[in-house]
């Protein structure tokens, strides 16, 4: 499966940190230059849309997407074991998350009803168009209403798609957002998702 990480050109610190994470797991992950925009959250929206469009253009069956503050919480052997257990059929699989509501699926996965955070996730190609359309709509509305980030930011605006989709989250949290300075927030951010 092809993987991308999103990284602003000037954030060489985050680039070095996340590339070290990938190297330790034996992953080859392509850098996607993040879109610089003000406010930064709109740039984040546009960057994730750009990655999905590129995955679609290249014909990837699925794509793994990371933000540059992704930090693994598991060992390489655990990673290898868990990634081999992807559901037979899925639209989205969360690698890191703030799980708001879910139902049990099996020993490995929750079935998502509501989740947020886009620091690490997998999307199947059959869901590219649906997610791109939703996020493009959100980005357009966000640009028209830039103070309403809590409504139009990626990890909020995708929520209506979740209950109907084959959307899963690993029961073992694979990663989280590394504490660091956030260009989106304009301050140091310490999150546990």
Q: Could you tell me if residue 188 is inside a domain? A: no
> Does some domain include residue 15?
yes
Q: Is residue 186 part of a domain?
A: no
Which range marks the domain in which residue 71 is found?
A: 2-180
Report the distance separating Cα 111 and Cα 117, nearest Å: 16
Q: Cβ–Cβ contacts within 10 Å for residue 119, how many? A: 24
* Tally of structural domains, the chain: 1
CATH code of the domain in which 9 resides: 3.90.550.10
Asked whether residue 185 is assigned to any structural domain, the reply reads: no
The reply to whether 189 falls in a domain is: no
113: three-class secondary structure by DSSP: strand
Q: How far apart are alpha carbons 55 and 18 in whole angstroms?
A: 20
Q: Along the 193 residues of the chain, how does pLDDT read in single tens digits?
A: 999 999 999 889 999 999 999 999 999 999 999 998 777 788 899 999 999 999 999 999 999 999 999 999 999 999 999 999 999 999 999 999 999 999 999 999 999 999 999 999 999 999 999 999 999 999 999 989 988 888 999 999 999 999 999 999 999 999 997 756 445 545 445 556 5
Nearest to 188 by CA among 69, 24, 37: 69
* Alpha-carbon gap, residue 33 to 14, rounded angstroms: 12
| Burial class for 143, CB neighbours closer than 10 Å (0-12, 13-18, 19+) | middle
Q: Is residue 187 part of a domain?
A: no
Is residue 129 assigned to a domain?
yes
Could you tell me if 122 and 64 are in contact, meaning their C-beta atoms sit under 8 angstroms apart? yes
In a domain, 72, yes or no: yes
């Amino acid at each position: 499966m092809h993987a991308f990480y999103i990284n602003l050109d000037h954030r060489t610190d985050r680039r070095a940190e996340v590339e070290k994470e990938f190297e330790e797991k034996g992953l080859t992950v392509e850098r996607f230059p993040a879109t610089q925009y003000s406010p930064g959250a709109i740039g984040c929206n546009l960057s994730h849309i750009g990655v999905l469009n590129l995955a679609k253009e290249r014909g990837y069956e699925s794509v793994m997407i990371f933000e540059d503050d992704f930090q693994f919480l598991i060992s390489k052997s655990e990673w290898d074991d868990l990634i081999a257990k992807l559901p037979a059929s899925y639209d989205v699989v969360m690698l890191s998350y703030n799980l708001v509501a879910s139902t049990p699926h099996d020993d490995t996965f929750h079935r998502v009803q509501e989740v947020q955070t886009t620091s690490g996730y997998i999307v199947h190609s059959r869901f590219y168009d649906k997610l791109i359309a939703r996020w493009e709509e959100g980005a357009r509305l966000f640009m028209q209403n830039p103070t309403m980030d809590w409504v139009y930011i990626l990890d909020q605006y995708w929520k209506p798609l979740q209950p109907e989709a084959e959307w899963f989250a690993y029961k073992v949290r694979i990663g989280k957002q590394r504490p660091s300075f956030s260009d989106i927030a304009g301050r140091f951010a310490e999150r546990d998702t």
